[in-house]
Amino acid sequence: MESLRKAAGSLLVVGLGGGELTGVERAWLKLVRPGGVILFKRNIEDPAQTRALLDEATESCATHAVRCVDIEGGTVNRVRDALAALPSAQAVGQAMRREQGRASSNPTLGARTKTRQGWGTPASLARGHGELIARATNAFGFNTTLAPVVDLALPEAAEVLGSRPPGANAAEVTTYAREFLAGLRAHGVTGCGKHFPGLGGAAGDTHFTMPEIDRTWKQVWNEDLVPYRELHREMPMIMMNHAAYPATPGRVRPASASAFWITTVLRKKIGYRGIILSDDLEMGGILKFLPVDEAAIAAVVAGSDLLEICHSPELILRSFEALLSEAERSAAFRKLLLSRAAEVERKRRRLYAFRVSRALGAKQLEQLRTRIARFRDLIAASETDTIDPRAAAPAETS
């Protein structure tokens, strides 16, 4: 029974309520022993406080715990208030294309810009974005940022995704993501490509509903999935979304609970060997299809490695108990749960073998803020880098 409890807990990545642990949180963390924690703006006051919270929480987690945060830049930046605003992926992508045009028309000018700023080529802009986000991630004691977004910036999802995607076509997105991930790797930060198999065609927000994306298998394979197909060996982690694709063999089942998308497409057809993470199981996109306890089981059966539950202790405990109950009821699920937990532990050990980076001093933090400000000025970020007049999604404001 103890091995089952350990296995079930190790597949969960959980959220916390505030800037320090409560007695109740300490109790359920010790009971569940999750595979990691995810923090939001509500948890983050400054680097020292955040590190203390992460250190205490992960003492009760599985070994080599995931310490993750959403720092994409633009509207999704959990450390914005505690550190600095960062340009969005869209703004960086636009700057890359502007710089490519300038370099093509005047190669001498392009080379001179690179020498003056250090960020003059299109590739160096994306890599610089990744490096600055990695430094911000490290500064607060995290080891993982849930970025980059590799959805396509299609018209259907413009109101939902805002400035989060870096480009409108697969080539633009792949060029940005390759260099962004290299920037993260250079500073020992784990990245996460999202949201598989692509939210570019989603007219609805998966925080509230399960969008049915009207794209054919051919469109998804030849467009939305290209970044994953080309970069799957460079993505340590990939996040599944809660949308459905009724014009594909996945039909109306959300991707996060679909063996077709996770096992058949991502694992077998694409050949992905890294960690597969579900998007938050508290989101309406999955809960309108399955209650959270059934969703947790379905995600594991479909092939997910880690399950995000970002807010409610009740739903965290319900999911934990559901995995245990199903393992006790079904010998096949028990075998699956134990083998999946062992496999994910090996992957976490490989990714997080090194200690969390050292804390920065006040002078180093100020230097990081200055470097971010210079990069932002270089990008000349557009107004889409602030919360725009549309209703902001929870992903942007929490």
Widest pairwise Cα distance in the chain? 69
DSSP state of 383: G
**Torsional class of 17: left (φ above 0), alpha (ψ -120 to 50), beta (otherwise):** alpha
Residue 4, domain member (yes or no): no
Query: Which domain range does residue 358 map to?
Result: 13-385
Q: How far is CA 230 from CA 170, 175, 233, in A?
A: 10, 10, 8
Question: Which residue is it, tokens 């999750």?
Answer: 34
Separation between Cα atoms, residue 152 and residue 177, nearest integer Å = 12
CB within 8 Å of 187: residues ≥ 6 apart: 131, 134, 135, 137, 138, 357
DSSP annotation string for 306-334: EEEE-S-HHHHHHHHHHHHHHHHH-HHHH
Residue 131, both tokens:
């490096």
Show Cβ contacts of residue 125 under 8 Å, excluding neighbours closer than 6 positions.
92, 95, 96, 99, 119, 179, 378, 379
The pair of three-digit structure tokens given for residue 329, joined into one six-digit string: 């009821």
Say if CB 170 and CB 228 are below 8 A apart.
no
Two structure tokens written together for 200: 């570019």
pTM of the model: 0.94
* CA pseudo-torsion sign 107, 113, 116, 118: negative
Non-local CB neighbours of 101 within 8 Å, separated by 6+ positions? none
**In 4-35, which positions are buried (b, 16+ CB within 10 angstroms) versus exposed (e)?**
bbebbbbbbbbbbeeeebeeebeebbeebbbb
Looking at residue 102, its pLDDT comes to 74
| Structural domain includes residue 271 | yes
Number of domains in the chain: 1
Is residue 64 within 8 A of residue 345, CB to CB? The reply is yes
Q: How many CB atoms lie within 10 A of CB 155?
A: 10
Token pair for residue 375? Answer: 């990069």
Angstrom distance (rounded) from CA 271 to CA 58: 31
pLDDT per residue, tens digit, the chain (398 aa), is 789 999 999 999 999 999 999 999 999 999 999 999 999 999 999 999 999 999 999 999 999 999 999 999 999 999 999 999 999 999 999 999 998 877 666 655 554 444 334 656 889 999 999 999 999 999 999 999 999 999 999 999 999 999 999 999 999 999 999 999 999 999 999 999 999 999 999 999 999 999 999 999 999 999 999 999 999 999 999 999 999 999 999 999 999 999 999 999 999 999 999 999 999 999 999 999 999 999 999 999 999 999 999 999 999 999 999 999 999 999 999 999 999 999 999 999 999 998 888 999 999 999 999 999 999 999 974 444 444 434 456 666 66
Evaluate whether residue 397 is within a structural domain: no
Q: Hey, what long-range contacts does 369-372 have (CB within 8 A, 24 or more apart)? A: 369/83, 369/84, 371/132, 371/135, 372/83, 372/84, 372/85, 372/86, 372/132, 372/136
**331 class by beta-carbon count within 10 Å (0-12 exposed, 13-18 middle, 19+ buried):** exposed
Residue 391 lies in a domain: no
- Could you tell me if residue 317 is inside a domain? yes
Asked whether residue 390 is domain-assigned, the answer is: no
In a domain, 127, yes or no: yes
Phi, psi of 122, deg, nearest 5: -55, -45
Spatial contact of 148 and 111, defined as CB atoms under 8 Å apart: no
Give dist(CA 226, CA 223) in Å, integer.
6
Residue 394 falls within a domain, yes or no?
Answer: no
pLDDT for residue 117: 47
Residue 43 DSSP class: G
Please report, for the domain that includes residue 108, its CATH number: 3.20.20.300
